[in-house]
Chains A and B, each alone.
Chain A
């Protein structure tokens, strides 16, 4: 097979090559500088390559070489705490080799091939192993045991197994047929890693974000989309999830977004603590940063690089959460390449395979039993950036057909600085039912009812607001005015959550339950007071109710909540007392 040829044509990131045999998705080195690219089309004796680096200055006639393997990532110890571009090149190493600005023509390994790791074996010579079998463990970071697995397509009998200090490319195990197993193996990014079976998602991913855990939970192994216009809170929400979710591993893909945002993550994550383990968040995180000004072809690949790394940790039996910000930029990268290929465009210029690519991607989420028999999951949370904030566009629509949770960001709420600006009327979670049991057992048997009541009231509010728009709130009967006041509390004290407040940023389930319970208690008391003849104006004036607003910011949550609730009791007693003293009409309770 001919592995060398030459460039025929260059048009931006799309390069046509000739004189070389290729298969689809083969990786090729292009031009004098050996830029990395991937075959994405074959036409007669020419192949079409998308190049992951800038092509300025490259000329027809320059040499190309087919490396004969598909675009793959290196999987093994050392992934955690890494920050990669879209094709698993370490950004710190790129900086060391070429400075502060990204130049081209540098190929580097995804993993450090020289770093020594302490390997502990857990199989013996004579053991039968197959794809996914764990043969040993490496302590990758303080809290993550990296399980070394037999690659999916290999099986046999262990002939020799070592223990001690090795690099990822040393042989640590030899099978009877001579196959050498290393701590690292490669896997083609566009091919999902096999699992032995899929499990139903019935455990919530607890995020510490009240509106998510409370109203629209996503299950571990589930899929969620978060569409919204610019500035509505996609990135902040994704980052909140990456920080506070009760997941073991986080893969965060900055796909075609801002450089400063990635710098922010890099700055913050080593400082912040995982609420569960108390260790720096970075120790459980892999970052992929292919910002908007980095090459589009690598942006297209970044999503696959991320999901493959996520699958690898899932196979070890971990719960992995993957955030992709933003899938729209990924779709646009597809569109850009597709239009350079002069393919027949589909809706709004996106390629006809947009919908297939999106579903293939989200299909890689799930709670599974891995080949090695371990329970693991990948939860995918994809941001969507619809042009003009219009959800009827193809990327949003195709995504909504697949995902089970829809967090609809709302520009109006964002403008009112109601954050997270997730619209509670249009968002939904199809997991709510499946998760009820978990909430019953782990939060409180009352939780579901509390939550449903809150949702109900919010629906009522929307209807009442329509009337208020016409006649003003004073014209409503007192009980409806009270409903509006209670839903205001739900919105402002429960749904709103300040991601930048050191305490409010993360709200454990127990606190969420207490807060909602407190609002419910106010509601009960207020309704009772109203029935006994207290004026709505007097209820609305109660101080304790507004003090409730600040409880969530307090270090001593329980103490301050108790104080507020005690005050509330007193206040209600006193307004009822006044009523009594005035001898106003009262009803018997």
Chain B
């Protein structure tokens, strides 16, 4: 049907350049036939009467000027269907599990379209993850994008899995699904996830996209978009509440950088493309709740911070887009605390709309603020103690110092299978606060102290 061109003039990194084509559409899907009979796919990045530039997803290995190139006349689409649940697909959406091809109910453009801000419903449904440092102090809500900022060797996968297992909206029995997209992670890591999904039966409610470390890097540019397209489909056409886990965003950004370099673009900070903010936004902003539709898309992605540096462009630009971040701390991990979540740099910006009366409990915000403030001050004092010794501290400071230790030990620390409901989390919070003199609890209204403080509670 479509014409085949054998007019490749140049191959550079993941890009091919062609001449003398009919008019080709921007972002069009391209099929490249290799002399050995295999086919690769690509996408048009630049198109003019003179020249067409194509990025090849499976990499340009094995390509030469004799390859035949066909333009599909269409942008990249993902065949979607309800039967995707339970399936394991490649990073470009082909079945990897030996099962049949997806019989599409629809074919959707993977780039998605921006949700009209006017159509958005502000997220406010509390998701209970069963982890105190999240539920208590960095609450996740439906439709939020809240990534884990972690580092190499830290247990972010365990945390993500615990959340995938335990996440629920208390009191609601609505349909729930997980879309998992691996981008450049090792086979071993992928197996770890798959094994847990199988063990818990979660796979039945999951769609898995796998682009592993040894798969082509350019494919990573479409894997998350396929995953999000599947998620949107399940959310908006099948009324499901979808939790999307993308891992690892850092590998995605490396692929983006590689593409930029191949196109000889002027690089931005530390060699990453100047448009990385916009590009990442086109992923993260696909989380949300749409007025009048029952489902929702929540993103809980994993990002490993190169060199544990939160100011590195990848976590930095992500933090500017996402609605907070959960920061995994090497220090806590070394202390043997699981989950080693450091609440201080962590933040959930949508927390305020998801907690309090009618959502969790009326005192939630006050308790959370107070825990934070006391822990922050106590932790600060550790530095001072190292210099002047404990004896030089005032009574007040000594209490705060002890508080910081107790907080890490009782509030932060919990078992990987321990599913704490919000009541439990808040009571642990109060027990800890009760160890402080009441005059220090300046962030809590008297009426809550009278009602919930263990010393007052009848």
Contacts and interface: CB of A to CB of B under 8 A. Distances in A.
Interface of A: 8-12, 16, 54-62, 83, 91-92, 94-95, 99-103, 229-231, 254, 256, 258-260, 262-264, 266-267, 289, 291-294, 296, 329, 332, 335-336, 339, 345, 348-349, 385, 387-390, 415-417, 468-475, 492, 500, 543, 546, 549-550, 553
Given A102-B114, A292-B281, A58 B26 contact: yes
A59 B24 contact: yes
Interface in B1-42: 23-28
Given A61-B49, A95-B116, A264 B277 contact: no
A387 B109 CA distance: 32
B145 to A, nearest CB: 9
Nearest to B397: A473
B113 A103 contact: yes
A54 B75 CA distance: 12
Contacts of A59: 23-26, 47
B401 interface: no
B265 interface: yes
A103 B48 CA distance: 24
Interface residues of B, number: 84
Contacts of B383: 469
Interface string B135-159: 0000000011000000000000000
A118 to B, nearest CB: 27
A56 B321 contact: no
Contacts of B320: 230, 385
Contact of B116 (A55, A94, A474, A546): A94
B438 to A, nearest CB: 10
Given A10-B46, A58-B25, A417-B372, A91 B118 contact: yes
A158 B380 CA distance: 72
Given A10-B48, A293-B282, A471-B392, A230 B265 contact: no
Contacts of A549: 442
B115 interface: yes
Given A56-B111, A388-B316, A550-B445, A9 B439 contact: no
B339 interface: no
A100 B394 contact: no
B50 to A, nearest CB: 8
5 contacts: A230-B319, A260-B123, A292-B281, A294-B114, A417-B372
Contacts of B384: 468-469, 472
Interface of B: 23-28, 45-50, 74-75, 109, 111-123, 143-144, 265-269, 274-275, 277-278, 281-282, 285-286, 288, 290-293, 311-313, 316-317, 319-321, 323-325, 344-345, 347, 349-350, 352-353, 365, 369, 372-373, 376-377, 383-384, 387-388, 392-394, 397, 439, 442, 445-446
Contacts of B313: 387-388
Contact of A349 (B115, B267, B388): B267
A331 to B, nearest CB: 11
B268 A348 contact: yes
A292 B25 contact: no
Contact of B275 (A16, A336, A387, A417): A336
Nearest to B352: A500
Contacts of B278: 256, 292-293, 296, 332, 336
Contacts of B388: 470-472
A78 B380 CA distance: 53
Given A56-B111, A546-B439, 16 more contacts: A11-B26, A57-B25, A59-B25, A62-B23, A100-B290, A231-B319, A258-B323, A260-B122, A266-B117, A267-B122, A332-B275, A415-B344, A416-B377, A472-B388, A474-B394, A549-B442
Contacts of A475: 392
B77 to A, nearest CB: 11
Contacts of A56: 25-27, 75, 109, 111
Contact of A60 (B49, B115, B265): B49
A345 B266 contact: yes
B285 A259 contact: yes
B26 A10 contact: yes
Q: Which 9 pairs show the lowest CB-CB distances between chains A and B?
A: A9-B48, A292-B281, A388-B311, A472-B392, A263-B120, A101-B113, A230-B319, A56-B27, A293-B285
Contacts of A296: 275, 278
B114 A293 contact: yes
A277 B148 CA distance: 44
Contact of B291 (A100, A335, A387, A500): A100
B230 to A, nearest CB: 16
A304 B116 CA distance: 21
Contacts of B350: 260
A383 B6 CA distance: 51
Contacts of A546: 439, 442
Contacts of B75: 56-57
A289 B392 contact: no
A59 B376 CA distance: 57
A263 B117 CA distance: 6
Contacts of A348: 268-269
Nearest to A16: B48
B15 to A, nearest CB: 13
A553 B366 CA distance: 13
B345 A332 contact: no
B266 A339 contact: yes
Given A56-B25, A258-B321, A474-B394, A263 B121 contact: yes
A231 B347 contact: yes
